[in-house]
């Protein structure tokens, strides 16, 4: 793994960093294809919005982009870049100096190649027993506090499914362990409302913006278990996997219609 801290190559981080001690920060994970960061404007927008909501000043974007360019230049094939902002070093307690520019940490990783197989063959999705809490103030953000997702992922790994849907405490569907869900009914895409919890992914945003141009209507609303039974088809998405079709949803076999493959190709 290669890493940069505030634009300088480094493999070490202070033990006093608030990201380490308090999960005080946020991040985004980006696909790098042939040395180019895919959907960078949307990732930058997500980071900017999270800074505002978490009372952080924005970083020096010219330095961030220069570091990204340095890290990804000459990379062949597919890679993963993770850009992480913390509130830096400000002491042990919860009290913080707000609206200060963040510490910027960039890491570069190999691409998870099983996503390529998922894209072709589809995956089986069940429903997790582990539920996620609601916190509207942080809903949609990709904060550093990911303990719920770690426990959710442990349940996925112990199951026979490739992924599991997470519900909130009221039984509303939010997401899988690392991706957003879309249900298909005719030419309508249904995706869960995330104003109480969950992560609003960059690929989800891209799909919501692009789908109408390709003849799909998009509806964002609360989804529950009965909505799974009414779906004609389904897929999950994130920035790394793109669009992955679902071939089994909560025990029910699903077809992968040609229209869904066309949408997958358009996103690719």
| Domain over 2-111 is classified CATH 3.30.470.10 | yes
Give the pLDDT mean for 164-188: 96
- CB-CB contact of 199 with 142 (8 Å): yes
Domain ranges of the chain: 2-111, 116-267
Give the pair of three-digit tokens for residue 43.
Answer: 């990732």
Which among 237, 250, 247, 254 has a CA at the least distance from the CA of 123? 247
pTM for this predicted structure: 0.94
pLDDT tens digits along 35-65: 999 999 999 999 999 999 999 999 999 999 9
Active site residue ranges: 29, 142, 175
CATH number of this structure's domain 116-267? 3.20.10.10
Q: Residue 233's CB: how many other CB atoms inside 10 A? A: 21
Give the pair of three-digit tokens for residue 172.
Answer: 């509303």
Pairing between strand 217-221 and 188-192?
Answer: parallel
- CB-CB contact of 78 with 32 (8 Å): yes
Helices (H), the chain: 18-22, 40-53, 61-72, 114-121, 147-158, 202-210, 225-230, 258-267
Give the pLDDT mean for 218-241: 96
- CB-CB contact of 260 with 245 (8 Å): yes
3-class secondary-structure state, position 222: coil
Predicted pLDDT of residue 80: 98
Q: Which residue has the tokens 């509207």?
A: 136
Give the pair of three-digit tokens for residue 182.
Answer: 């879309």
Is the pLDDT assigned to residue 268 strictly greater than 90? no
Which among 178, 115, 173, 171 has a CA at the least distance from the CA of 146? 178
Is the pLDDT assigned to residue 218 strictly greater than 90? yes
Q: Which residue has the tokens 């004609």?
A: 232
- CB-CB contact of 49 with 28 (8 Å): no
- Alpha carbon distance 30, 238 (integer Å): 9
Predicted pLDDT of residue 199: 95
């Amino acid at each position: 793994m290669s890493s940069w801290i505030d634009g300088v190559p480094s493999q070490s981080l202070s033990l006093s960093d608030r990201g380490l001690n308090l999960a005080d920060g946020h991040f985004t994970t980006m696909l790098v294809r042939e040395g180019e960061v895919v959907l960078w404007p949307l990732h930058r927008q997500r980071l900017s919005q999270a800074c505002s909501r978490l009372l952080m000043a924005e970083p020096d974007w010219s330095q961030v982009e220069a570091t990204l360019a340095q890290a990804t230049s000459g990379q062949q094939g597919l890679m993963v870049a993770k850009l992480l902002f913390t509130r830096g070093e400000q002491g042990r307690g919860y009290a913080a100096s707000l609206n200060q520019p963040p510490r910027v940490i960039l890491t570069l990783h190999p691409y998870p190649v099983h996503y390529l197989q998922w894209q072709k063959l589809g995956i089986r999705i069940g429903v997790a027993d582990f539920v996620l809490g609601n916190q509207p103030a942080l809903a949609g953000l990709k904060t550093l506090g990911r303990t719920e997702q770690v426990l959710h992922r442990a349940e996925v790994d112990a199951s026979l499914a490739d992924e599991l849907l997470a519900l909130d405490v009221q039984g509303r569907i939010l997401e899988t362990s690392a991706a957003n869900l879309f249900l298909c009914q005719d030419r309508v895409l249904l995706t869960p409302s995330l104003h109480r919890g969950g992560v609003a992914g960059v690929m989800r945003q891209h799909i919501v913006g692009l789908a109408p141009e390709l003849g799909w209507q998009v509806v964002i609303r609360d989804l529950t278990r009965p909505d799974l039974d009414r779906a004609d088809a389904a897929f999950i998405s994130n920035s790394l996997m793109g669009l992955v079709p679902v071939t089994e949803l909560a025990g029910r076999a699903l077809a992968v219609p040609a229209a869904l493959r066309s949408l997958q190709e358009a996103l690719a």
